[in-house]
Copies of this chain bind each other. A is one copy, B any other.
Amino acid sequence: MEKKGTRSHAASSSFLGSVSPSDREGHSSTQSSHRLLAYSDALISIIATVMILPVAHTKMEDNESVQLLLTTKIAVYLMTFLIVTVAWAAHIRLFQVIVRIDDCLALLNLVSIAEVVLSLLYTFSLMATFPEKILGILLFCGCVMVIGSVIVLYAFSRPFLLNEQIQISENQIYYKHHILKVIMRVPLMCFFASIFSFIFFELSYVLLAIVIFLPYISQCLKWCRSKAIGQVDETPDSMLFYTYLPNEPLSKERVEAFSDGVYAIVATLLILDICEDNVPDPTVVKEQFGGSLVAALQAYGPEYLAYFGSFATVGLLWFVHHSLFLHVTKTTRFMGLLNTFSLAFVGGLPLAYQLTHEFPRNSRNELEAIQISCVIIFFAGIFQLTIWVVALYNEQETLHPYVRYGGREHVFMLAKLALYPCVALGTFFLTCILSKFSASIFHLMEITVPFAFLVLRLLVRVGLALLRQIFCPDRPDPRTVVEEEDDETRVPFNALVT
């Protein structure tokens, strides 16, 4: 936890400052791209998450094993999620180069999102259903080629839309050619893939897989190498996953918008389930329950419990994510990658909800469904914790002082982030041992965790006080007191001045 490199921070923040949307807004022929990007982030995150639905709505036979049946479907979901995030990373890269938009570009962007829906969701499911037909490949490649080329060529034909760093750069031509070369790589490979599909279609699948997963593989390899042989100095080529420009960090705002989209759509899928199915039919109430609405609603009891448990889990995972990114000042690309993995598991929560209330009580499938839910929650939480741990490695650049190692919120943050992984892991092993009470243990967990969050600050304070009493009983902690007071006095002073 040493103080490493604040050298690039000042440069990058002043650079960011010069292209911030607020100071150039209000022109009429070109516009700041802020709201367009937020809307694109929301739509792309929705597209990524929606693919869980075919998995969640699979009709399960009670005598088959859930795990075997679901493995392939979950693999397809994770693959589409990763494909969409690769497209999102390309979108981020592109709009770091293009910082101003005009009407035409805004429309092109909307068209390209509609095409992402078509190509990445529809033609992908077409390819999965009919692997030997070349129509799916041709459509997929065609869409990717059109999306990539049209926006890039339009934007580069109007240089006033581009990033100022490129506009004022001396070797502007070099930049343009370099970026164009990188961006056009994907459409070109798709072009070759579509040609190969006529000759030998297995090869074109290999080409497409390379196009899609190359960024992830190269990213992982680079990180492993940098950990193994020490700090590699960052060449422009290692930057290519999220940015073309050296010193340009991954935009924290866009990561937040994308994450909010995923959490919101997961909550929506839960809302859809509760609104469509769970109002009892008047005739059923009259015949089966003797007209007593309360008795009829009691029959739905477990579903309400599952619904509120899942809704609380989504809400609290969002809350942890919110707390974490509130203290993050800059997002590195590796943190972005970890965030994507965490979100992929959050997107699996509707599946967990569907599974836990579908099977009869005390069946073998119910046990497996609850264990799957625990695994999903565990991974969603553990990747959030990993983001923070990775951020701690460059804490001078990435974190506010409060949550750095030794800061006064450090322990509280650790407790917040570790709560869900620990509880999920504990529940998993408990359900393995006490397999008969699995459902009740799971519901108990879902109900107690929100209360645990409410009293977490108290628990952490008590724990720290105990530790301090045990290890160093005579040293007071003056820093906390001073900062508390500083907080209290600062606010009214500010208020009086402005």
User: How far is the CB of A21 from the nearest CB of chain B, in Å?
Assistant: 11
Report chain B residues within 8 Å CB of A322. 35-36, 39, 106
B46 and A168 form a contact (CB under 8 A): no
- Contacts A50-B271, A107-B319 known; list 20 others, CB within 8 Å: A26-B402, A28-B327, A28-B402, A28-B409, A38-B260, A39-B264, A39-B318, A42-B42, A46-B264, A46-B267, A50-B272, A53-B272, A107-B450, A110-B315, A114-B312, A122-B278, A130-B282, A160-B488, A164-B495, A167-B492
Query: Given the complex of chains A and B, what is the CA–CA distance between A456 and B107 in angstroms?
Result: 12
Within 8 A of B (CB), among A390-422: 400, 402-403, 408-409
With A39-B260, A267-B43, A488-B160 known as contacts, the answer to whether A275 contacts B53 (CB < 8 A) is yes
Does A481 interact with chain B (Cβ within 8 Å)? no
Within 8 A of B (CB), among A160-211: 160, 164, 167-168
B293 and A135 form a contact (CB under 8 A): yes
Does A454 interact with chain B (Cβ within 8 Å)? yes
Report chain B residues within 8 Å CB of A129. 279-280, 282
Report whether over half of chain A's contact residues are helix, strand or loop; otherwise say mixed.
helix
Report chain B residues within 8 Å CB of A444. none
Query: Given the complex of chains A and B, what is the CA–CA distance between A168 and B484 in angstroms?
Result: 20
A275 and B121 form a contact (CB under 8 A): yes
A35 and B260 form a contact (CB under 8 A): yes
Name A residues whose Cβ lies closer than 8 Å to a Cβ of B.
14, 17-18, 24-29, 31, 35-36, 38-39, 42-43, 46-47, 50-51, 53-54, 57, 103-104, 106-107, 110-111, 113-114, 117, 121-122, 125-126, 129-130, 133, 135, 160, 164, 167-168, 256, 260-261, 263-265, 267-268, 271-272, 274-276, 278-280, 282, 285, 293-294, 297, 308, 311-312, 315-316, 318-319, 322-323, 325-327, 400, 402-403, 408-409, 450, 453-454, 456-457, 484, 487-488, 491-492, 494-496, 498
B42 and A264 form a contact (CB under 8 A): yes
User: How far is the CB of A10 from the nearest CB of chain B, in Å?
Assistant: 13
